[in-house]
Amino acid sequence: MVDLLTELVMGTTPIVTEETRPFWDATVNEELHVQVCDECGARQLPGGPCCSRCWSMTFHWERASGRGQVFSYTIVRHAFHPAFADDVPYVVADVELDEGPILTTNVTDCPVQAVRIDMEVEVHFAQEVNDPFGSLLRLPLFRPIA
Amino acid sequence: MSIGYETAVVGVGNTKFGKVAGVSAWRHQVEAVQLALADAGLSKADLDGLFTESQFTEPLLLHGHVLGQMLGIKPAYLSTCSIGGATAISLVQQAAMAIHHGLCNVAVCVYGDNPKTGFPALFGKVQMGRGQADSLAFGMAGGPVMEARSAMRYKHDYGVTDEMFGAVPIAFREHASRNPNAQYRDLLSMQDYLGSRMISDPLRMLDCCIGASDGAVAVVVTSEQRSADCRKRPVYIAGFGAANNLDGLSDPTHYTSFAGKRSSSTAYEMAGLGPDDVRVAQWYDCFTSTVLITIEDYGFTGKGEAGPFALEGNLTLRGRLPSNTSGGMLSEANLTGWNALAEGVRQVRGESTSQVDNASVCVVSGHGGFQASHATLLLTEATG
What is the pLDDT at residue B339?
98
Chain B nearest C-alpha distance from A106 (Å):
6
Please answer yes or no on whether B149 and A74 come within 8 Å at the CB atom.
yes
Residues from chain A contacting residue B247 (CB–CB below 8 Å): 52
Nearest-10 crossing angle of helices B25-40, B63-71: 60
Longest CA–CA span in chain B (Å) reads 56
* Residue B174 belongs to some domain of the structure: no
Please answer yes or no on whether A104 and B122 come within 8 Å at the CB atom.
no
- B-contacting residues of A 53-82, CB under 8 Å? 71-81
Contact A25, A146 (CB under 8 A): no
Residues from chain B contacting residue A108 (CB–CB below 8 Å): none
pLDDT in tens, B62-113: 999 999 999 999 999 999 999 999 999 999 999 999 999 999 999 999 999 9
* Residue B319 belongs to some domain of the structure: yes
**B204: β partners:** B198
pLDDT in tens, A78-126: 998 899 999 999 999 999 999 999 999 999 999 999 999 999 999 999 9
Contact A98, B158 (CB under 8 A): no
pLDDT in tens, B136-185: 999 998 899 999 999 999 999 999 999 999 999 999 999 999 999 999 99
pLDDT in tens, A83-94: 999 999 999 999
Cα–Cα dist A54/B359, whole Å: 47
Please answer yes or no on whether A13 and B130 come within 8 Å at the CB atom.
no
**Number of domain units in chain B:** 1
A125 touches chain B (CB under 8 A): no
* Residue B15 belongs to some domain of the structure: yes
pLDDT at A70 over 90: yes
Sheet with A59-63: list strands edge to edge: A43-44, A33-37, A59-63
What is the pLDDT at residue A144?
98
Over residues B256-280, mean pLDDT: 98
Contact B354, B325 (CB under 8 A): yes
ipTM over 0.90: yes
Cα–Cα dist B260/B273, whole Å: 16
Name the residue among A14, A77, A78 with its Cβ closest to that of B137.
Answer: A14
pLDDT in tens, A36-50: 999 999 999 999 999
pLDDT at A6 over 90: no
* Residue B139 belongs to some domain of the structure: no
Contact A137, A126 (CB under 8 A): no
Chain B nearest C-alpha distance from A124 (Å):
14
Contact B218, B108 (CB under 8 A): yes
* Residue B187 belongs to some domain of the structure: no
Q: Which residue of B has its CA nearest to A84?
A: B139
pLDDT at B31 over 70: yes
* Residue B180 belongs to some domain of the structure: no
Backbone phi, then psi, for A108, in 5-degree steps?
A: -120, 180
What is the pLDDT at residue A11?
85
3-state secondary structure of B139: coil
Chain A nearest C-alpha distance from B155 (Å):
11
pLDDT at B127 over 80: no
pTM, two decimal places: 0.96
* Residue B37 belongs to some domain of the structure: yes
Q: Which residue of B has its CA nearest to A17?
A: B131
Cα–Cα dist B321/A80, whole Å: 34
Sign of CA dihedral B285, B352, B362, B40: positive
Cα–Cα dist B341/B363, whole Å: 9
Contact B96, B49 (CB under 8 A): no
Q: Which residue of A has its CA nearest to B256?
A: A72
A94 touches chain B (CB under 8 A): yes
pLDDT-derived band at A61, boundaries 50, 70, 90: very high
Backbone phi, then psi, for B8, in 5-degree steps?
A: -150, 155
* Residue B283 belongs to some domain of the structure: yes
Tell me the CATH number at B364: 3.40.47.10
Q: How many CB atoms lie within 10 A of CB A13?
A: 19
Contact B182, B333 (CB under 8 A): yes
pLDDT at B130 over 70: no
Please answer yes or no on whether A9 and B132 come within 8 Å at the CB atom.
no
pLDDT in tens, B224-247: 999 999 999 999 999 999 999 999
B211 touches chain A (CB under 8 A): no
pLDDT in tens, B187-236: 999 999 999 999 999 999 999 999 999 999 999 999 999 999 999 999 99
Number of A to B CB contacts under 8 A, please give it: 121
Domain assignment of residue B306, given as a range: 7-121+210-380
What is the pLDDT at residue B131?
63
